Structure 1
Amino acid sequence: MAQYNFGAGALWGTPTTDAFGAIIAVPTPQLLATTQDVSIDISGDIKTLYGQNQFPVAAGRGKGKISGKVKYGQFNGAVLNALYFGQTMTSALLADYADVTGSVIPATPFTITPTPPSTGAWSVDLGVRNAQGNPMTRVASAPTTGQYSVTAGAYLFATADTGQTVFISYQYTATSTIAKTSLVQNIAMGSAPTFRCDFFNQLGGNGLSLTLYSCISSKLSIATKIDDFLIPELDFEAFADSAGRVMSWGTAQ
């Protein structure tokens, strides 16, 4: 019976070292869930030897290369950090609030203090727009018409702008046991996390298993569309691990 395979399959990345080269003693395998498509390309340079005639008299394989690409639908911070950034990650919420409701500037003291979602704490101003959608100008203090100042999340407006509707956007943080956040430091070139890649695809019990023992990611792409889901894309290349292993594979037939 012939073997056929169908669908995108499943791909796991198991971190082996962090961005600084430290071995991860007890790694957590990361499933790149809701896989959309996977491609793994195995190639090698072919060197040919010519004599006096038109076609080569010998050929040999030179440098080899294994590269992969996966697109997946379930966005997960642990996956991003383990397979691409490899730096310190904490459980906390870091988010932006883009105001689409608006608030009316009150009379004395002409101040609006937004309440961040999730009992969060205001951290960074991302601008204020008036009812016409035009940006207001931020100043250090004593705002005049069309201006505002902000201190610790309290937005002060001009007396003359009382009664106007404004839209305040900002960044905030909040305590969370689920959300992930990380500050990516500017580290030395050559430093990057490595991981083991396991891919499986099957149809009717006939499977294809492929393991790449040591991989490094070359690109993380995060592209959005106005009418579609965010589909992250991770590109990577494989190389030999400390035991000289590059790849293992297995098929049902």
Structure 2
Amino acid sequence: MEFHFGAGDFFAVPLGQANPTPVHFSALSDFSIDIKFEEKKLYGQNQFPIAVQRGKGSIDVKVKNSLVSGAMVNSLFLGTTSTPGQLLTAVNEGGQPTANSYTAANGTTFKTDLGVAYASTAIPLQRVAANPTAGQYTVSAAGVYTFAAGDAQASAGVVVSYTYTVAAGGSTAAITSQAMGTGVQFMGVYTTASVVAGVQKRCTIQLNVCSSPDLKMAAKQDDYMVPEFGVSAYADAAGNVGVVSFAE
């Protein structure tokens, strides 16, 4: 007999590609696999069944990984085109208006205004199309924020929030509405090992064809975000679902 301790490792290899890049879930915090079948029970006149047979089966996997990457999300879940660069967010960037205007620090790649507030009171300002009065502002496509000439609180300082882009340092994948039936397929391999009496014993589960029906990314005030992938396994063209391998 053997026993295992710890979450182990999970690998996903995209299918349908000439040279697929495997994705390693290297910081698992939780892994579970649920293999189950429906039971079909035949009853006669008495209380208990006279025959029980298996019906439809399913294999459902939950993978919680403490580290997440664009490649992991796109190649295993979204399945869209990934481009170099990032969409970033500036949150409460401190600004000191000059001549009633302030240019965002990342104005050259400014994308979307997310609001303005007075630095001294945190009271939000109202965005208008033109000619702002006290408590209002306008913003241009180049990230130039303009305030009322007589707005003393704005002149004293503001905080602005917005999105902007950078050309390098990451990747961006589009979330698109694709045709029904469109999805990503991959082979999943889970492995865990423990040392028993000085000998390493490893368990490996290979699932030949998988898809991910759900991705959860939950944040907490005093904890880490641990994304959770749902994985469903099914049979390949030859009718094989996978293998389970133990040391003993």
TM over 0.5: yes
- Give the equivalent residue in structure 2 for 1:185: 176
User: 1:80-159 maps to which residues of 2 (within 5 A)?
Assistant: 80-99=73-92, 102-106=94-98, 108=99, 110-116=100-106, 121-131=109-119, 132-151=121-140, 152-159=142-149
Q: Which amino acid aligns with 1:157?
A: F
* Contact residue 108 and residue 143 of structure 2 kept, 8 A: no
* Contact residue 94 and residue 181 of structure 1 kept, 8 A: yes
Give the TM-score, by structure 1 length. 0.91
**Structure 1: 5+ residue stretches without partners:** 17-22
2:65 is equivalent to residue 72 of structure 1: yes
Q: Structure 1 residue 186: deviation in Å?
A: 1.0
Instruction: Identify which of 210, 221, 233 aligns with 1:215.
Output: 210
**Structure 2: 5+ residue stretches without partners:** none
Q: Which amino acid aligns with 2:156?
A: Q
Q: Structure 1 residue 104: deviation in Å?
A: 2.2
* Contact residue 120 and residue 173 of structure 1 kept, 8 A: no
* Contact residue 82 and residue 171 of structure 2 kept, 8 A: yes
Tell me the distance in 1 between the aligned counterparts of 2:108 and 2:210: 38
Superposed CA deviations along residues 58-113 of structure 1, whole A, max 9, x for unmatched, are: 2110100000001010121100011110111112111111025x22222x2x2111
Q: Structure 1 residue 192: deviation in Å?
A: 1.2
Tell me the distance in 2 between the aligned counterparts of 1:73 and 1:24: 27
- Give the equivalent residue in structure 2 for 1:224: 219
Q: Structure 1 residue 241: deviation in Å?
A: 1.5
* Contact residue 197 and residue 211 of structure 1 kept, 8 A: yes
2:12 is equivalent to residue 24 of structure 1: no
Aligned length: 240
* Contact residue 105 and residue 161 of structure 1 kept, 8 A: no
- Give the equivalent residue in structure 2 for 1:10: 9
Tell me the distance in 2 between the aligned counterparts of 1:67 and 1:60: 21
- Give the equivalent residue in structure 2 for 1:166: 158
- Give the equivalent residue in structure 1 for 2:188: 197
Superposed CA deviations along residues 150-187 of structure 1, whole A, max 9, x for unmatched, are: 112111111012522110101010011x4110111111
Aligned partner of residue 159 in structure 1, secondary structure: coil
* Contact residue 120 and residue 174 of structure 1 kept, 8 A: no
Tell me the distance in 2 between the aligned counterparts of 1:111 and 1:153: 10
Q: What percent identity do the matched residue pairs reach?
A: 38
Tell me the distance in 1 between the aligned counterparts of 2:187 and 2:124: 48
Q: Structure 1 residue 120: deviation in Å?
A: 6.6
Superposed CA deviations along residues 113-158 of structure 1, whole A, max 9, x for unmatched, are: 1112xx9721111111113112111111111111111112111111
Give the TM-score, by structure 2 length. 0.92
- Structure 1 vs Structure 2 CA RMSD: 1.4
Tell me the distance in 2 between the aligned counterparts of 1:73 and 1:89: 22
Tell me the distance in 1 between the aligned counterparts of 2:177 and 2:108: 28
Aligned partner of residue 150 in structure 2, secondary structure: helix
* Contact residue 7 and residue 31 of structure 2 kept, 8 A: yes
Aligned partner of residue 234 in structure 1, secondary structure: strand
